Amino acid sequence: MKALVYHGPGKKSWQEMPDPKIVGSADVIVRVDTTTICGTDLHILKGDVPAVQEGRILGHEGVGTIMEVGSAVATLAVGDRVIISCIKSCGHCVNCKIDLYSHCLGDEGASGIGWVFGHLIDGTQAEYVRVPYAENSLYKVPAGVTDEEAVMLSDILPTGFEIGVQYGGVKPGDVVAVIGAGPVGLAAIATAGLYGAGTIIAIDLDQNRLEQARQFGATDVVVSGAADWKQQVLALTDGAGVDVAIEAVGVPETFTMAIEVVRPGGNVANVGVHGKPVELHLENLWIQNINISMGLVNTNTTPMLLKLVAQHKIPAGKLATHRFRFDQFVEAYDTFARAAETRALKVVISRGEGDAPLT
């Protein structure tokens, strides 16, 4: 098969690799029909994730068709169309039993680490992939849900919802600020209404992404490069500050922005993956009764979110802005890496003839 292979910081190639094989009785082999690129893949290529070894097939999001099943697999069959979750789940360990799949203690990849695809084992940016613990790590795609919609449920939709909305404690009527209107930020915006957020403020440097944010449910937008951005946000809260600030970028400056606009007693939900230390001024924060949360997605909400996507209550398909074929992987990475210039949200890579990139 062919796959997108990591060869050290700044190096990757679309090349021939051995076909994956069943290793454990709970494994399945999936033919990848559609995959995509995540900001985490860009972090890996920068060398920010040293656990990723040279020769690793990248990617942790995908939709495909089951081609082979292990002897212990009873609820999945050859031909099933499935979503590949970015998080493994053995389904039996103490953490999986409390829906903490991100810290699955199964020994695939590494015990206690749920994110294994494209990290500790070969990933989904390939023609085929081996999926361990398949009955707990795959979700059947219902009729009427497209590959483009389904692939957004591998990672970004549950990430935005679980780590942003749920961890942020969004309640009916809340004022929610989402700092960063990239794919995960838009996923948080699109799902904040599920818990009744009254006002959803999108904050970003990019005017195009702010325009996109309105399509996903933002009631107000603020350009973060404006000198009075903070005053604009506070004006939408009668000066009190937002109930929930969701950080969806992963740089120290945006985390500080979240702290600056949250009200006393409010919640800061950090979703962004940070590559640098962030200064935390506890000497000031303690007296404001601020709650700060963070984490790796568990994907335990994927079945519920899949139902809502199937009912067209979450506009998952709108996250796809550019489309490529498998033989255009390098071009897809270039487009995604230059998102501010190309206006890319999620690039979708599919087998077959595919479509030319959208403009």
Report whether 128 contacts 29 (CB < 8 A): yes
Class in CATH terms, 157-294:
alpha beta
Q: Give the residue from 1, 117, 138, 133 showing the smallest Cα distance to 56.
A: 117
Beta strand ranges found along 17-156 (DSSP E): 28-36, 62-69, 81-84, 128-131, 138-140
Cα atoms found within 13 Å of the Cα of residue 63, Cβ hemisphere only: 20
For residues 32 and 254, what is the distance between their CA atoms, to the nearest angstrom? 35
280-298 in b/e burial notation, b at 16+ Cβ within 10 A? eeeeeeeeeebebbebbbb
**Residue 187's pLDDT is what?**
98
Q: What are phi and psi for residue 36, nearest 5 degrees?
A: -155, 180
Report whether 244 contacts 168 (CB < 8 A): yes
**Residue 353's pLDDT is what?**
53
In the chain, which segments carry CATH 3.40.50.720? 157-294
At a CB cut-off of 8 Å and minimum separation 6, what does 53 contact?
Answer: 6
Report whether 130 contacts 5 (CB < 8 A): no
**Residue 48's pLDDT is what?**
86
pLDDT tens, 89-119? 999 999 999 999 999 999 999 999 999 999 9
Q: Give the residue from 38, 47, 28 showing the smallest Cα distance to 86.
A: 38
For residues 98 and 104, what is the distance between their CA atoms, to the nearest angstrom? 10
For residues 48 and 45, what is the distance between their CA atoms, to the nearest angstrom? 7
**Residue 355's pLDDT is what?**
40
What residues in the chain have per-residue pLDDT under 50? 354-359
Q: Can you tell me which residue has the tokens 């979450």?
A: 314
CATH number of 2-155+299-350: 3.90.180.10
**Residue 358's pLDDT is what?**
37
Task: Give me the amino acid identity at 347.
Answer: V
Q: What is the mean pLDDT of the chain?
A: 95
In the chain, which segments carry CATH 3.90.180.10? 2-155+299-350
